[in-house]
Chain A
Amino acid sequence: MKFARAAMAAGLLAACASQTASAATGNVLFNGTITATCTITINSNGTMTVSSNLQSLSSHNAGGSAGSAQVDTTGGVSLSVDPVTTTTVPASDTTATTWTPTFATSGAQTIAETGTATALTVPGTSTVAVNLAGTKSGTNRFSAGNYQATVTLRCE
């Protein structure tokens, strides 16, 4: 009887030993979708100064400075500036002024100074210089007082 049990156990062990452990493998997939994003951070506003002939009030003039903004984007967006509609001028200035906003970028993507919408195709951080120029024609001149204008920088 003992012999039979031992023989049976040995047989089972031998049967198990001949079996190899089967390892299954599987792939786990990861998907991610990044949609277009854009963040504008205004670093500083601009300053305009008047030209010697008093017909230009611009951030390009001597002593003036461009506004600065930082744009972080995934690409696939466009950058533009709107025509200036909101201005404050001194009461003594009663003549028409033509306002021209422009922008240029450096950093992740370089865009030469322009006033038209431009695609941002390169992902990363770009620094935007925003300029504004007001001009008067004919005999019209800028007068003493405070001027203020708002430029809309749009990322869409």
Chain B
Amino acid sequence: MLAAGLIAALSPIAATGQSMTPMRGEVRSFTDAFAVRVFPGNPYNQRIRVEVHVYDQDFQPVAARITPSAFLLAGQASRPVLVVVPFDGANERKVRICTESIPFPSEQTQIRAQICGKFFGHRRF
């Protein structure tokens, strides 16, 4: 229902080996939310667990609809993830959409890789 009223101005091409694409975007929407499709990628040769999160400019979590928000991704693969961000009454909203993965658990100092894209949604009436 909501998705039907959205204008997704981004149409990236998925590329193998990219952790997330696109990393920048500007979207115009005629509804109370805007949608972005991102493509998390797995640069490793083995399967990893990927999580997608949405944050505001201060890195506070945003209640966005992420489909899917967590999934297993095969090595050298990427897949589309649809993120629907509510304007929450504002006319525009800047968010970060971040792809996170932890490929090597059980060691003393783990490094969590996080790729964040910056997206700007404008509301049109």
Contacts and interface: CB of A to CB of B under 8 A. Distances in A.
B112 A150 contact: yes
Given A42-B103, A156-B118, A69 B21 contact: no
A54 interface: no
Range for the number of chain A residues in contact with chain B: 20 to 34
Interface stretch (A15-23, A43-51, A104-112, A135-143): A43-51
A35 to B, nearest CB: 5
B111 interface: yes
Nearest to A41: B43
A37 interface: yes
B110 interface: yes
A132 B103 CA distance: 19
B111 A42 contact: yes
A45 B43 CA distance: 17
Interface in B67-125: 96, 98, 100, 102-104, 107-118
Interface of B: 12, 15, 17-24, 41, 43-44, 96, 98, 100, 102-104, 107-118
Q: Which 7 A-B pairs have the closest CB atoms?
A: A46-B109, A156-B116, A40-B113, A45-B107, A154-B114, A150-B110, A152-B112
